[in-house]
A and B are shown apart, each in its own frame.
Chain A
Amino acid sequence: EAQVTQNPRYLITVTGKKLTVTCSQNMNHEYMSWYRQDPGLGLRQIYYSMNVEVTDKGDVPEGYKVSRKEKRNFPLILESPSPNQTSLYFCASSFTGTEQYFGPGTRLTVT
């Protein structure tokens, strides 16, 4: 089954404790992206990757890092999480960046 998977689905952590949210797709897509979704603000792009080893900032990249060492994986790293990064996070993938397919989401709470 073609899909985008994220892990974990739910995470509660404390301020400053480094964490990684994994994202994997099995559709051989070149384009991958991370979004955060907050009430009233819709989906905002954090980082995206056009291909392996090619990443760029989205609209809200502060406090986040990404890497794209393999085509199928695009982890999101929070080096020192803060409460304002409490949000619902989505990974998405696409052949071209247009018709993006989303993962199920990761709900992160930082206390």
Chain B
Amino acid sequence: GQQLNQSPQSMFIQEGEDVSMNCTSSSIFNTWLWYKQDPGEGPVLLIALYKAGELTSNGRLTAQFGITRKDSFLNISASIPSDVGIYFCAGQLVMRNTDKLIFGTGTRLQVFP
């Protein structure tokens, strides 16, 4: 099955730093979503994007739907220890009727005090 290219695979940062991660694909998506997974838990939806160029914030998180519709970006400002976890992007394909989400392989974030 198709997967999204998500980078970086892992990040080790100091508390207070800003974080950027992205997802790219060779396919065009009509929806992008960003999830966070805490250890031992299921993924939790952070942000959903529905229009190319859309920029949406959720607290310290900001995500953008790329203009080409083939990529998306997530930024976290002023990181804190509870930001630790795995961040997944997910895209919904344009021409499919199945409402299927394609997931990235995740970015593992570690925040050091």
> A residues bordering B, Cβ < 8 Å?
4, 31, 35, 40-45, 48, 50, 56, 58-60, 90, 92, 94, 96-105
Is the Cβ of A42 less than 8 Å from the Cβ of B43?
no
Docked complex: B14-43 residues within 8 A CB-CB of A? 31, 33, 35, 40-43
B43 CB contact (under 8 Å) in A31, A58, A60, A102? A102
Q: How many residues of B contact A (CB 8 A)?
A: 22
Contact A97 B101 (CB under 8 A): yes
Which one of B33, B44, B99, B105 has the highest number of Cβ atoms from chain A below 10 Å of its Cβ? B99
- Cα A96 to Cα B97 in complex, Å, equals 11
CB distance from A102 to the nearest CB of B (A): 4
| A-chain residues with CB within 8 Å of residue B92 when the two chains form the complex | 97-98
A-B contact pairs, 16 of them (CB 8 A): A31-B99, A40-B105, A43-B103, A44-B103, A48-B100, A50-B98, A58-B1, A90-B42, A94-B99, A96-B99, A97-B100, A98-B101, A99-B45, A102-B43, A103-B42, A104-B40
Assembled-state Cα–Cα distance A100/B41 (Å): 15
B35: chain A residues at CB < 8 Å are 102
Which residues in B have their C-beta under 8 angstroms from that of A44?
Answer: 1, 103
B31 touches A98 (CB 8 A): yes
Q: Which residues of B contact A59 (CB under 8 A)?
A: 1
